[in-house]
Amino acid sequence: MTNPLIVVRNVSKTFSAAAGPFTALDNVSLDIDKGEFVIVVGQSGSGKSTLLALLAGIDRPSQGEVHIGGTAVHSLSERDMSSWRGGAVGIVFQFFQLLPTLSAVENVMLPMDFTNSWPANKRRSRALALMERLGVADQADKLPSTLSGGQQQRIAVARALANEPAVLLADEPTGNLDSRTANAMLELMSSLVQDGQTIVMVTHERSARRFASRTVTLADGRIVANDDA
Amino acid sequence: MVASLRTTMRSPRWRKVVGDLWLHKARTSLVVSAICVGIVGAGSVLNAWSLLRRATHDEFDASNPASAVLRVDSVDEALLTKVRALPTIAAAQGRRSVLGSVLTSTGWKTAALTSMNDFAASAIGIIKPGQGAWPPSNAGIVIEHSSVDYATVSVGDSVTLRYGDRAGRAVPVRGVARDVGLAPGWMEHTVYMFATPAMLSSLGAPSTMNELQLLVRDRTLDRADVQVIARDVQKLVESEGHHVSEVSVPVPGRHIHAAQIESLLLTQGAFALLALLLSGVLVVNLISGMLTGQVREIGVMKAIGARAGQLVTMYLSLALMLGLIACAVSLPLAALLGRLYAEFTAGILNFDVSAFRIPWWAFVLQFAVGALLPVLAAAIPVARGCRISVSEALRDNGTAIRGESDGYLMNIRGVSRPVLLSLRNAFRRRERVVLTLATLSIGGAVYLGALNLRSAVIASVDLAFSSQQFDVVFRMTRAYPVDSMVAAAITTSGVSAAEAWTGAHAAISTPDGALNSRFAITAPPLNTAMLKLTIASGRALLASEENELVVNRRLLADEPRLAVGRRVTLLMDGRVATWHIVGTTDTGLQPAAYTSRETIEHLTGGVGATSLIVAVNATAPAAKLALVRQLRSDLVDKGFDVSSSQSMAEARSVLEDHLLMVAGFLGNMSLLMIVVGGLGLASTMSLAVLERTREIGVLRAIGAKHGAILAMIQTEGLVIAVLSWLLAIPLSLPMSIALGHAFGRVMMEVPVRLLPNGPGVVQWLGVVVAVSLLACTWPAQRATRITTAAALSCE
């Protein structure tokens, strides 16, 4: 039996707010194996995005541990966290978050540039290969503002995959897309999983369940359901 | 290495740096403009200073200025040979200066003719040939460069020269030359010329040399050492049977106006540095604002693997690029303005800076400041911005209000809700507002302070001339009986009053017989009705057994031994006597002293006067001029030998030209501050619009029209502008004192006027309102272009 790729143990996250402390996650534990496509669902404020932020090393748990690929993410320094995040996880945001002054291919090259993970003269060809795989190679030299939402999100996925991360984390990647484009995005995610990619995706899309290998349901910061497909 | 650099610059992160500069062109332009204003202001003053320093030092030094000048009854070759034989003397030469008149297209003007036996062999105060012939010959004169325009003559023209009331003679102008030791003719209202002794004789003027110019061998000696050498020469000259009436020793190697120009440039430099500092703070503001708009991107870059150090390098490089762009624009502009300003100032000093280059260190300094200023200004905001956690950055929507509640601003009665919103918005980013207020109010304080200075200068000139209740002075070539002079004048129609005055030149004599620079003593009758001196300290002249003297404060500044209450020994027209200093007065820029005509008559045993002082009934300048001409003609007809005449209007104009020009230079600094303040306001308002995109979208969604959005932004700007105007009024008090002191160092002490000038306050309100409307035009238009949909979808 192999060890899980992602191990979340007794994680709690409390935010301090003007109205008093607010617990977004309450003693959550979760294991995810390599190659799984896990979707996290729940109502607004249930703690979905907080869980994803802890997996991405964007935030730190108030209590508990997060291990990804053997790395104790919760204990990394800010500097080590940046380096680890660049290589180990790829993040896809709801609003794409492409840098507006860079062309599509430059956006995809950017993580390789920051982490120095590929030789400088190979980065463009790798970025183009990824964009080819995601069907947006013909948009390589366009600025994000000239692309449709679906195209921008595919480029965001290509950017997330640039450094061959162990895990792709997606925060409502279809939330800003029409239903047809959203469906295409989910098919794309599914195909990546078939190629061995591990994906954890926060979503409101009911249709996403049919692509996922597991659905984790959160309510009030707790896991209330953890169902295999 | 080049390939590596090319690869580096092609990498996405550097492309982002360049792309950000281009995407936010307006903001980039504002930052670059802010740096440019600072660099152009400070750089042009630095460039002018470096050029003038070189010109005044090198060119003045190259002219071999006289180390000392002795006024002697006559200087002949035998005397010169003996003086030259002294081991401490490198060169000695004789010279003669004569005052006459020259007829120009605008009438007769004072002409100062300098003569020497052999101009070509001159080794002291070397005159630089310019256009046409050099040296002057018996066939024609050479005019000094700075007098050409004032005299409206060119090489090849013929001018009419006259000495005293002798017949005028047409003399060809054969060339133009520059004497860097002279103040410019246009400013002194004097046409300087060079002529041979034979030419002076042909005009009827004395032509024997009466100035002994000395150049000491050791050029490193200080003034005291040179005074010792000059004393030795004086003894030698006197032992040869000559009479010495004055020994003048200037500060070695220093142009007579150098201290004033340095003070002026240093004062302007201080303001320019203030503008640079304020533009630096403006850059901090803009870069902070720029980072505010980049927080989310910083979060995204961190999320995909960027380290804080990489981001800091990127944003500091962006700041460096802004600095480099600003340098590319501002360095040539600062060089051009610096050179123009140096040329203008050099013109005042009668120097030519065209042969000099701005030194390399001045460019390096400006480049270093220009390139590094934005980097230093950005360092703290960049470090702070790049340290932000990813989660905080991704949550940022740029609309948070920090600071205390300002709800009280929403509860002012009788003011509409949109205006209240503008008022409240004006204070949302308080640090930024404080900076904008500071730049605009300091600009206002300089503007109002400069107006106060101008008023104070004019009041000082009024004061100086209020004591002189006459219109024209006629100087005679010799003394005439007092009554006959007055009677001759008063019979001319239009003359309302006349007095006969006398005068003399005196120098302080020390117990060992050493002499100092001479100063003029004016001697009206004791009961004069035409000279009402305002006594600043001590008392006025009284009928006394003693020789009493009132000195003006300019003379006192040059010669502290003439303090009130002191008794000093003066050499006057060959007579040594003790004088009692009884008071001080303010009568302008020239050193001057006053006694009574009776005192001079008592001292010299002579009776008579050398000047006729006249007041006329006419008030119009043309009528006055006609009357003066008629009177001069009448005096000549009655047998008086008039050497020159000077109208008080012209004397006042000379003084005002000097003073108001310097006051204007200091006031010009307010323009620099207005530009910095305007840029500050423009940046504050454009950042406010940027940060409130969503809020403006909401306002539009609930019905705010174009006009309402425009009015809201313009009202915000006007609130800041009017507040800065209110602050500028009290700030103008210390600024008036500072400018008054600066002016005192440069020119002369003026009574500092503290209360702001009423019309000036209203003018400044107009200026800040105009600056505000202009500065807010672009931000307001940008706000109206924000569509509701785009604003509300803005994350």
- Domain residue ranges in chain B: 1-60+257-396, 68-248, 467-649
Give B25→chain A minimum CA distance, Å.
12
Nearest CA in chain A to B296: A97
| pLDDT, greater one: B79 or B406 | B79
Residue B173's region, left for phi above 0, alpha for psi from -120 to 50, else beta, is: beta
Q: What average pLDDT does range B194-201 have in this prediction?
A: 93
Q: Which residues of B touch A99 (CB under 8 A)?
A: 16, 297, 300-301
How far apart CA B649 and CA B461 sit, in angstroms, is 12
How far apart CA B584 and CA B534 sit, in angstroms, is 9
Residue A202's region, left for phi above 0, alpha for psi from -120 to 50, else beta, is: beta
At A153, which amino acid appears? Answer: Q
| pLDDT, greater one: B286 or A211 | A211
Q: What average pLDDT does range B368-375 have in this prediction?
A: 89
> What are φ and ψ of residue B565, in 5° steps?
95, -20
Work out the pLDDT band at B772, boundaries 50, 70, 90. confident
pLDDT value at residue B457: 78
List of E strands, B28-133: 68-72, 89-104, 107-115, 128-132
B29: Cα separation from own chain's centroid: 32
How far apart CA B402 and CA B713 sit, in angstroms, is 20
How far apart CA B41 and CA B668 sit, in angstroms, is 11
Give A115→chain B minimum CA distance, Å.
6
Asked if residue A204 is part of any domain, the answer here is: yes
What residues have CB less than 8 Å from B145, skipping those under 6 apart?
B130, B176, B177, B178, B350
Of A22-31, A125-134, B302-311, B697-706, give the lowest mean pLDDT range. Answer: B697-706
Pairing relationship of beta strands B548-552 and B592-594 according to DSSP bridges: antiparallel
Interface of A with B (CB under 8 A): 53, 56-59, 78-79, 82-83, 85-87, 90-91, 93, 95, 97, 99-102, 106-107, 109-111, 113-115, 120-121, 159-160, 162-163
Q: Which residues of B touch A53 (CB under 8 A)?
A: 391
How far apart CA B212 and CA B247 sit, in angstroms, is 9
How far apart CA B784 and CA B795 sit, in angstroms, is 19
8 A C-beta contact, residue B302 and residue A55: no
8 A C-beta contact, residue B409 and residue B427: yes
Work out the pLDDT band at B414, boundaries 50, 70, 90. low
Query: Degrees (nearest 5) of the Cα angle B756, B757, B758?
Result: 110
Tell me the pLDDT tens digit for each residue of B415-430.
666 666 666 666 666 7
10 Å CB burial of residue A21 (0-12, 13-18, 19+) is: exposed
Q: Which residues of A touch B25 (CB under 8 A)?
A: none
Instruction: Report the SS3 class of residue B709.
Output: helix
For the record, the structure tokens of B310 come out as 């990489």
Q: Which residues of B touch A121 (CB under 8 A)?
A: 7
- Most A CBs within 10 Å: which of B304, B386, B694, B794, as the mutation test of the A interface? B304
Query: Do B16 and A110 lie within an 8 Å CB cutoff?
Result: yes
| pLDDT, greater one: B280 or B745 | B280
Nearest CA in chain B to A168: B304
For residue B715, is pLDDT > 90?
no
pTM to 2 decimals? 0.69
Please name the member of A79, A95, A114 whose beta carbon is closest to the beta carbon of B795: A95
Q: Which residues of A touch B300 (CB under 8 A)?
A: 93, 97, 99
Please name the member of A78, A86, A109 whose beta carbon is closest to the beta carbon of B12: A109
Of A75-79, B478-482, B660-664, give the lowest mean pLDDT range. Answer: B660-664
The neighbouring-strand residues paired with B161 are: B102, B169
Query: Do B304 and A56 lie within an 8 Å CB cutoff?
Result: no
Of A185-199, B227-241, B283-297, give the lowest mean pLDDT range. Answer: B283-297
CB count within 10 Å of CB B512 equals: 7
Query: Do B300 and A82 lie within an 8 Å CB cutoff?
Result: no
Tell me the pLDDT tens digit for each residue of A151-191.
898 899 899 989 989 899 998 888 877 888 888 888 888 98
Asked if residue A135 is part of any domain, the answer here is: yes
For residue B668, is pLDDT > 90?
no
pLDDT value at residue B413: 63
Work out the pLDDT band at A66, boundaries 50, 70, 90. very high
How far apart CA B187 and CA B499 sit, in angstroms, is 29
| pLDDT, greater one: B160 or B738 | B160
Q: Would you list the DSSP string of A124-169? A: HHHHHHHHHHTT-GGGTTS-GGGS-HHHHHHHHHHHHHTT--SEEE
Sheet containing A89-92: order of strands = A89-92, A167-171, A198-202, A37-42, A214-219, A222-228
What ipTM does this complex have?
0.85
Interface of B with A (CB under 8 A): 7, 11-13, 15-16, 19-20, 22-23, 296-297, 300-308, 310, 389-391, 394, 795
Q: Which residues of A touch B391 (CB under 8 A)?
A: 53, 58-59
For residue B364, is pLDDT > 90?
yes
Of B433-442, B637-646, B739-748, give the lowest mean pLDDT range. Answer: B739-748
8 A C-beta contact, residue B17 and residue B321: yes
CA separation, residue A209 to residues A217, A229, B168, B705 (Å):
11, 8, 115, 46
10 Å CB burial of residue A58 (0-12, 13-18, 19+) is: buried
Please name the member of A53, A87, A99 whose beta carbon is closest to the beta carbon of B305: A87
Asked if residue A41 is part of any domain, the answer here is: yes
Asked if residue A189 is part of any domain, the answer here is: yes
Q: Which residues of B touch A106 (CB under 8 A)?
A: 12, 15-16
For the record, the structure tokens of B107 come out as 């009438």
Of B146-150, B522-526, B746-750, give the lowest mean pLDDT range. Answer: B746-750
How far apart CA B12 and CA A108 sit, in angstroms, is 9
pLDDT value at residue A202: 92
Q: Taking Cα atoms as reference points, which of B461, B539, B527, B463 lies closest to residue B499?
A: B527
Instruction: Report the SS3 class of residue B93.
Output: strand
Query: If residue B569 lies in a helix (H) or strand (E), which one and from where to where?
Result: strand B567-572
- Mean residue pLDDT of chain B comes to 82
Asked if residue A3 is part of any domain, the answer here is: no
B521: Cα separation from own chain's centroid: 29
List of E strands, B683-776: none
Q: What average pLDDT does range B192-209 have in this prediction?
A: 91
Query: Do B307 and A82 lie within an 8 Å CB cutoff?
Result: yes
Q: Which residues of B337-347 are buried (b: 16+ CB within 10 A; e: fewer)?
A: bbbebbbebbb
Give A123→chain B minimum CA distance, Å.
9
| pLDDT, greater one: B57 or A155 | A155
Q: Which residues of A touch B310 (CB under 8 A)?
A: 114
Work out the pLDDT band at B7, boundaries 50, 70, 90. low
For residue B292, is pLDDT > 80?
no
| pLDDT, greater one: B478 or B178 | B178
For the record, the structure tokens of B397 come out as 């929507």
Tell me the pLDDT tens digit for each residue of B322-355.
899 999 999 999 999 999 988 887 877 777 787 7
Query: Do B307 and A106 lie within an 8 Å CB cutoff?
Result: no
> What are φ and ψ of residue B748, in 5° steps?
-155, 155
* Secondary-structure percent of chain B, ordered helix, strand, coil, rounded to 5: 55, 20, 25
pLDDT value at residue B404: 44
Q: Taking Cα atoms as reference points, which of A188, A148, A210, A197 lies closest to residue A169?
A: A197
Pairing relationship of beta strands B211-216 and B89-104 according to DSSP bridges: antiparallel
For residue A116, is pLDDT > 50?
yes
- Most B CBs within 10 Å: which of A15, A55, A82, as the mutation test of the B interface? A82
CB count within 10 Å of CB A189 equals: 25
Question: Domain tally for chain A?
Answer: 1
Asked if residue A210 is part of any domain, the answer here is: yes
Asked if residue A66 is part of any domain, the answer here is: no
Tell me the count of A-B CB pairs closer than 8 A: 85
For residue A69, is pLDDT > 80?
yes
Pairing relationship of beta strands B592-594 and A20-32 according to DSSP bridges: unpaired
Q: What average pLDDT does range B711-740 have in this prediction?
A: 86
List of E strands, B599-736: 609-616, 642-647
CATH number at residue A52: 3.40.50.300
Asked if residue A8 is part of any domain, the answer here is: no
pLDDT value at residue B403: 42
Name the one residue in this structure whose structure tokens are 């950000």. Answer: B20
At A78, which amino acid appears? Answer: E
Work out the pLDDT band at B400, boundaries 50, 70, 90. very low
Give B694→chain A minimum CA distance, Å.
16
Supply the CATH classification number for the domain B68-248.
Answer: 2.40.40.20
Q: Taking Cα atoms as reference points, which of B119, B122, B203 lies closest to residue B159?
A: B203
How far apart CA B552 and CA B533 sit, in angstroms, is 10
Work out the pLDDT band at B443, boundaries 50, 70, 90. confident
Full residue range of the structural domain in which residue A149 is found: 34-57+77-228
